[in-house]
Structure 1
Amino acid sequence: MTTARGDSPADETGGLTRVLVADDQALVRAGFVALLDAQDDIEVVGEADNGEEAVRLTRQLIPDVVLMDIRMPILDGLGATRTIAGEPGLAGVRVVILTTFELDEYVFEALRSGATGFLVKHTEPADLLRAIRVVAAGDALLSPGVTRRLVAQFASHAKQPASGADLAELTDRERDVMTLVAEGLTNAEIAGRLYLSPATARTHVSRILLKLGARDRTQLVVIAYESGLVRPGWQ
């Protein structure tokens, strides 16, 4: 089953966070939809039961966040995430992977492919809602500790680089900032660690994203490990 609520992304939403839910298990999908629709600041704009439909509805509706199951028929969540992340017109869409096992190589590949973060399916409802709001606001990584462990575990076994990123383009200060991003620090925490203003830290992060062609902070974590800028276990 696939459902689109509203005909276009131009619908009046009153500042609501617009979410597309993609999961082939109807009961799981219904649970997410019921929880999200009960919130005053979140609107479910569509549902998909396979990756191909998730991509189609994302193109049609331009949601703020896609909750994407990894294992789906026709096109899995990994392929769907890669497609969405690769389309310039969907640059503002944030994909959050839904997974049963957090330390999963498929989750790592999804992060490399452009997912912003991930959630295990048994996540507490309050944590799910908080995560959607964090991602929609463009803030820090979801579960940074778990994300770092996941990236560190699988980065050294990656089959190919996540991007054509050349760290030689970064200044020494930008390398320092990127290292702290990989540690999971927020802009405010980076500012405190490096004795910068929060605005300056934010500017550094924005420049790093631009220079490396990275989609978001999650991509910076992956690049930092895969490039060898940081290594598992480093602090």
Structure 2
Amino acid sequence: MDAAPATRALLLEHARTVAEQADRHAVTLESVLAILRAGRLDDRAARTAAIDVAATALVELRTATDGQRASMLEPVTGAFDRLRSDLRPLVRFGELEMQFVEPPSSGRALPGEVALAARAIVRIAVLALVDAGDARRVRIQWDCDGLNLLVNLRDDGAGGASANDDAMRPIAERVSALDGELRVDATPGWGTALAIRIPLDPPAPHELSAGDAELTARERDVLRLVGAGRRNQDIADELGISLNTAKYHVSNLLRKLGARSRAELVAIGHGG
């Protein structure tokens, strides 16, 4: 049986909260690691800086909720400042140099959900660059044309990325969930550029139900495994299909169920 609408709404809200907190925790942990690895800091200075980053993250976790943020409009410059604040420890102690290009102050205020998604997308992209280790600089730019938030990132790495890479998958899912567009342009030896367009008026949320959707038997198998927390490779192995086929089914589930992220698919998988 499908969960009651109120229960499903709570599940989806919880899924969004968990996904956003996971992103923030990842940034905090990467920041702490960057501090501890910084050769110019002695042990005492590194401990002090790491404690400061962890304490700040803990205070933010305790005093702010995504539900509150998602219900408000954020000035585009304020949303960008919050992103810069999120990434400040990596800028200060990490090996990746970040250049921030301010959005115009006259830009339209962002719906909370768009601001949250845009910050999460940039954080995921920056963490992917940190993990790859082949880029030394990244340029982060936001703009607003009145109808869309325009996010551009450009790095000076090896230029081997593509829209089909696993590192791009969570970005593509978040952009797609908001009816946005993602373009990845990579030039070997010259770096990679991400151009993202996110509408400021995303589709109105609607009740999601696996029971009402026209899903194939295979899609229902994939949804069950997504709901169990399995990743794409695990799903492919268990169902005896290729990794690309597993990704294809997950993409179809996002579209058919109107889910805005993989976390929402997990909630739907639990709901029935």
* Interval of TM-score (by shorter of Structure 1 and Structure 2): 0.3 to 0.5
Query: TM-score, normalised to structure 1's length?
Result: 0.39
Higher helix share: 2
- Tell which has more relative contact order, 1 or 2 (C-alpha 8 A, sep 6+): 2
Task: Specify the structure having the higher radius of gyration (Cα).
Answer: 2
Query: TM-score, normalised to structure 2's length?
Result: 0.35
